Structure 1
Amino acid sequence: MTVETSDEPTPYVEEVFGGEKTGVEIEQIGTAGDGQIADPWDPEKIRVSTKNFSLRNVLDMIDSDDLDLAPDFQRNRVWKPRQKSRLVESLLLQIPLPAFYFAEDTDGMLRVVDGLQRLSTIHGFVRNREFALTDLEYLTNQQGDHFDDLPPALQRRLNNAQIVVHVIDPTTPPDVKYDIFKRINTGGEPLNSMEIRHCMSRARSRAFLKRCAQNDAFYTATGGALWEHVRMHDRESVLRFLAFRLLGDIESYDKFGSLERLLDRTVADLDDETRVDDVQLEQLYADFDAAMIKCHDLFGRHTFRKWPLGSDYRSPINRALLESWAVTLIEVPSSHLAAHSDRIVQDTRRAMTSDYAYIDSISSSTGDPRRVTTRFRTAATIVGYDA
């Protein structure tokens, strides 16, 4: 669901989720060719086996960390008490659940690909006493019960319930796993790319992205709009900065062909200590902190927001502006920015008003290589610093 704002000189569409504005501008990343598989799959490399598990077995795997539920995934809060209770009631009534999908790593770790909210709900009820049953349709005698309050026969029925799981073999290529995830995602609210990426990544990258997203300078620069964002736009914004910072030369972007591929590769790099070691992680964190401070010092309450001439309206966060300006300013001395701040701000606002190539580069098909190059080069030209 979206809400359009048409009374501003530079139109935007703000994302709405759960009936509330998210503070972030909707971004059309793709190009005309998106939606097609760039490299044809080799069916021989796609291996998915089907297994039956008891819920007791699956819950034990979660408790022993053999099954990763991506514990800081934000979207679990979406389910209402009635939805959670009706799921448990279905199991108690011995109604089969739709199949789950797990992805297996080479080290044997399993990650939930489809069914995260269902398993989180069941685990929360059976193991953690997170909620009591409410608004039941048939088992009204169990209204208000926690798991421990259920009769022993019903407790056994829950623990012994069988679920069907399709397990994606670790030999399946990562790009194919990611596309499978997008195709079989069956939740009521489809996951976005960052949410999928988060569920399929490892603890190292997740912890680092979370640390950056909780950075004080990031909170200040974004006016708190991305704090613990319900659609994970906070983590995605951090990741985009890290991706282009690690990329270095913007011309190298062409070899990835799309922003999603660059972000996927960056997550893989962050998860691999041989590609990005701990010293590099600390430097990236310091760079991110410094970039946020510089951007806010320059643009104030309009940091990472469209701010055309003739308007002082505070528009939603624009992620293309965030990545391009943060990466551009990291190499610019604060003394240069202080000396030229008024001119830089005015030239930027002018570009947002009448430079249509620049406006397009931060508004639509933002993953297109030409538009990526345009927004980075425009920011660099406006800043006017030659190292």
Structure 2
Amino acid sequence: MPVPVFEDMMNPTLQALKSLGGEAHIKEIEDKVSELLDLSTEDILEVHKDNRTKLGYRLAWSRNYLKRVGLLERTGRAYWSLTEEGKKAEAVDKDQIIRKIKMLDGRLANDDDEDLLDDDSKSDLDNAILRDQHNPDVEKEDTLSSEIIKPFDPKRIDITSKTLILDSIFKRISRKEINLFTDFQRQGDLWDPMKQSRLIESILIRFPLPAFYFDGTDEDQWLIVDGLQRISTLKNFVIDKTLKLQNLEFLDQFNGCNYDDLPRNLQRRIDEAEITVYIINPGTPDEVKYNVFKRINTTALILEPQEIRHAINQGVPALFVKELADLDEFKRATSYTIKTHRMLDRDFVTRFLSFYLNPYKGYQPDLDTFMNKSMAALKELSDSERLEIKSKFIGAMNGAYSLFGEDAFRKRFSRADNRKPINKALFEVWSVSLAKLTNEDLKLLIEQKDKLTDEFILLLNEDSVFSDSLSSGTGDRKRVTKRFTAIENLIQKQIQQ
């Protein structure tokens, strides 16, 4: 069914929160409402604007209305709960709520009247589920490990703090000494013109800006760790002059102006505005840099671990991972369902590479650090070694598709079971195990594919430790060992028959 208008999702929102225990993250609410309304994947991923989903956008409006009549309250960033009144309500009269809001506002809002949303709901839109974040065909994973190992010596952290004026940033941008198009960053210019204008206004009225973070490994090419949207806004206004100010709160006399239209004293106020810049210095070890990236990235849409890995492993490692992720054999084996925008596809490939290059028996948690070190190791390989790995990966993908078809890397508890989402841990263990086989053994295994499927179903049903190792605590050393040994034994049993 198509995504309903926001007023028709008030009751599903109420029901979703009740079934989730009265409080939930907006993503949990969205998933539950999708289930209650029996929405298809196409419905869930339908775009409203700016890559936001129509479902996420309209649910923000539903929460806004329910909050204003006292049934919901925001309890944290992107978290909502039922009020005491909301807990008592079995259902709401949407028409009555709409009439009440119309009386308060003097009119009814439409989907583009973001100015009528309260601050909580506007913040919701900043945290809204983007289309490419939502991948219902990939199973959610808990990677927490029961073991804690120090990732590095904190004394090796080398970050410099500087106070600069914005003009120095403008010069670096103009001279292409700040990389705005790094392979790891989410795209720039995600802010709408009003949000960009408010940033410029903040500078003009001398509000301090949040700190900027750069990777200064290459002095001639800084990489943006945190602050991409702010940098993009400044570039649009001061350098490209494509941004015209609008919806200003304090300086509305300058609505419609670009940088050149401002009086010189205001231009100078922008150019000479002081900012705090943190620079990760050259020589900082990769494992230190990875942890720093993960901790200090503070944008509304946090960088994914794989995006950080690409940030600090650019060049040969990043290009090789992308090369494998772009292979049609990989896409076919994963049913063309793994999204690319947040590098989810490359995360899968890196899982394969990590355990292919480093046998599971030597695995040390945590998983993120293990994968980052493995990706960094790619630059030490020769061209012929990488070509061999690529050939093995292609063979594993073709083998998985021959064995399981569109069920590859998915759980199945019976022959009649519905198709499940792709499981990362299963991808990791099946892809590596198949890649390690000789061509002759892989051929023998494919000849036994029906028996293999039956044995795999039996393993999932009868070995709860194995089943748990695929979804819970997947970064734990014992669980990594469990899933690899179980699949290896399963494969060898079929080959030796």
What TM-score results when the alignment is normalised by the length of structure 2?
A: 0.65
Greater relative contact order (Cα < 8 A, sep 6+):
1
Match of 2:411 among 298, 306, 327: 306
- Provide Cα deviations, 1:261-319, integer angstroms capped at 9, x if missing partner: 2211122223x3xx123332333233322222221222222222222215532322211
Any conservation in 1 of the 2:135–2:339 contact (CA below 8 Å)? no
Matched, 1:279 2:389: no
What is the deviation of 1:337?
A: 3.2
Distance 2:253 2:420 in 1: 51
Any conservation in 1 of the 2:143–2:472 contact (CA below 8 Å)? yes
More displaced stretch, 128-137 vs 285-294 = 128-137
Distance 1:154 1:335 in 2: 72
Report the equivalent of 1:239: 350
What is the deviation of 1:237?
A: 0.8
Q: Classify 1:120/1:211 alpha carbon distance in 2 versus 1 (closer, same or farther; 3 Å).
A: farther
Report the equivalent of 1:265: 373
Matched, 1:368 2:476: yes
What is the deviation of 1:193?
A: 2.2
Report the equivalent of 1:9: none
Distance 1:149 1:352 in 2: 67
Matched, 1:72 2:183: yes
- Provide Cα deviations, 1:239-279, integer angstroms capped at 9, x if missing partner: 111111111x32122xx332222211122223x3xx12333
Any conservation in 1 of the 2:216–2:279 contact (CA below 8 Å)? yes
Distance 2:166 2:471 in 1: 46
What is the deviation of 1:119?
A: 2.3
Identity, in percent, stands at 34
What is the deviation of 1:344?
A: 1.4
3-state DSSP of counterpart to 1:75: coil
Alignment of 1:28-43 (within 5 A): 28-34=142-148, 37=150, 41-42=154-155
Match of 2:396 among 291, 294, 317: 291
Any conservation in 2 of the 1:219–1:227 contact (CA below 8 Å)? no
For this pair of structures, how many residues does the alignment match?
368
3-state DSSP of counterpart to 1:98: coil
- Provide Cα deviations, 1:101-148, integer angstroms capped at 9, x if missing partner: 223327765333322333244335544567655544344455566666
Report the equivalent of 2:421: 316
- Provide Cα deviations, 1:68-126, integer angstroms capped at 9, x if missing partner: 44523463379341433433332344422111122332776533332233324433554
Alignment of 1:1-387 (within 5 A): 1-2=27-28, 3=31, 18-19=128-129, 21-23=134-136, 24-34=138-148, 37=150, 41-42=154-155, 45-62=156-173, 64=175, 66-69=177-180, 71-73=182-184, 75-76=186-187, 79-81=190-192, 82-105=194-217, 109-127=221-239, 133-140=245-252, 143=255, 157-230=269-342, 232-247=343-358, 249-253=359-363, 256-270=364-378, 272=379, 275-309=380-414, 311-332=416-437, 333=439, 334-384=442-492, 385=495
Any conservation in 1 of the 2:410–2:421 contact (CA below 8 Å)? yes
- Residue type at the aligned position of 1:32: S
- Provide Cα deviations, 1:148-194, integer angstroms capped at 9, x if missing partner: 67676655554443321022333444333333333322222333322
3-state DSSP of counterpart to 1:164: strand
3-state DSSP of counterpart to 2:186: helix
Any conservation in 2 of the 1:324–1:375 contact (CA below 8 Å)? yes
Any conservation in 2 of the 1:214–1:227 contact (CA below 8 Å)? no
What is the deviation of 1:238?
A: 0.9
Q: Classify 1:309/1:50 alpha carbon distance in 2 versus 1 (closer, same or farther; 3 Å).
A: same
What is the deviation of 1:338?
A: 2.6
3-state DSSP of counterpart to 2:448: helix
Q: Classify 1:353/1:243 alpha carbon distance in 2 versus 1 (closer, same or farther; 3 Å).
A: same
Any conservation in 2 of the 1:50–1:166 contact (CA below 8 Å)? yes
Distance 2:242 2:449 in 1: 52
Where structure 2 has 5 or more consecutive residues not aligned to the other structure, the ranges are: 1-26, 36-55, 57-126
What is the deviation of 1:362?
A: 0.7
Any conservation in 1 of the 2:286–2:312 contact (CA below 8 Å)? no
More displaced stretch, 70-79 vs 354-363 = 70-79
What is the deviation of 1:374?
A: 1.5
3-state DSSP of counterpart to 1:22: coil
- Residue type at the aligned position of 2:361: E
Q: Classify 1:71/1:343 alpha carbon distance in 2 versus 1 (closer, same or farther; 3 Å).
A: same
Any conservation in 1 of the 2:147–2:365 contact (CA below 8 Å)? no
Where structure 1 has 5 or more consecutive residues not aligned to the other structure, the ranges are: 7-15
Q: CA RMSD in A?
A: 3.3
Any conservation in 2 of the 1:126–1:147 contact (CA below 8 Å)? yes
Distance 1:343 1:124 in 2: 61
3-state DSSP of counterpart to 2:428: helix
Any conservation in 2 of the 1:76–1:120 contact (CA below 8 Å)? no
- Residue type at the aligned position of 1:378: A
3-state DSSP of counterpart to 1:180: helix
3-state DSSP of counterpart to 2:449: helix
What TM-score results when the alignment is normalised by the length of structure 1?
A: 0.81
Any conservation in 2 of the 1:228–1:234 contact (CA below 8 Å)? yes
Q: Classify 1:238/1:59 alpha carbon distance in 2 versus 1 (closer, same or farther; 3 Å).
A: farther
